Structure 1
Amino acid sequence: MSEHELPAADEIERSIRRLGLTASVSELHGIVAGWLAGGGDASAGWLARALADPEIADDESLDGLRAATSAQLEDRDFGFELLLPAPSASLYDRSGALFEWCRGFLGAFGLAAGEASALSTEGREALVDLARLAAAAPQESGDDEEESALAEIEEFVRVAVLLLHGDCALGPRHRQRLN
């Protein structure tokens, strides 16, 4: 597995069960991405801080998820991926997972970024749009047009996360180097 490759969903699912978490695999990836995009650190106890639960212990496979997500966020070729169900899953399951991903992202992003006064105008707009997605509910049925719309929304989320990561994690890091 390369440093950019996310762990398998079943491995993450086992960690979720072992730790007694209520999050889905997609929601947990959203939490990890939100924590990192908001500038959260990767030191010991990062998972407890990202979940706002001091009782949660660090977990090796979730450290792998954090490391791969971090590597993808830092990738200059914009290799960041959302951990969502396979394209063979139903539109309902995939859209529901995307909305869960957004809910997880927003919660952890808020914990890591705080007031996030460093957000650009585009970053603030992206955060509002992610909040709208987090509040959405999946449709029971869909057609090719809705499949296409879901693909566009997934791409929007991916780019929004990279923008927010730039505002809250990369920007401050680069400013720090300049001083």
Structure 2
Amino acid sequence: MEKATWIIDPTHSEMVFKVKHMMISTVTGTFGEFEGHLVAASENFEDAEFSTTIKTASISTNNSDRDNHLKSADFFDAETYPEITFKSTSYAGSKLLGDLTIKGITKSIELEIEYNGTAVDPYGQTKSGFEAISKINRKDFGLTWSAVTEAGSIVVSDIIKLLINVQFIKD
């Protein structure tokens, strides 16, 4: 069977992260600019190869001061490292393994993935949806900024939750 290419539809997709602040609340952030594709021959995507590029400077937590800090050398250093990339290495059942690169550091990560199905929209485009979740340690990727409050609370957790919802359009 011939392989088909599918392109991420950014208007129906989201790249979200969540991190504990002072270990008492959760801050949610998104990346607004990203692109990617998958290539697969099978209709159930069991042989799918996923690839995504995220623009680091597109980070948003709904707080411009925090966003500017996240873009700085303390965290993502968006000027030096303008992109975050992911390239899958295997996909089986509900597990997607791949290489995530942040700040020039590449680590293998595992995502729990759910295929939500395929449908044809009113314009005749074939679309498929996926949801993925994972946790990473930010310090593994050189995001090492840290601070402690006077009471001894950690300001930013090391563990980051990733929540990815993507819709692909068959090319």
Q: Which TM-score applies when normalising by structure 1?
A: 0.24
Q: Which TM-score applies when normalising by structure 2?
A: 0.25
| Larger helix share, 1 or 2 | 1
| Larger strand share, 1 or 2 | 2
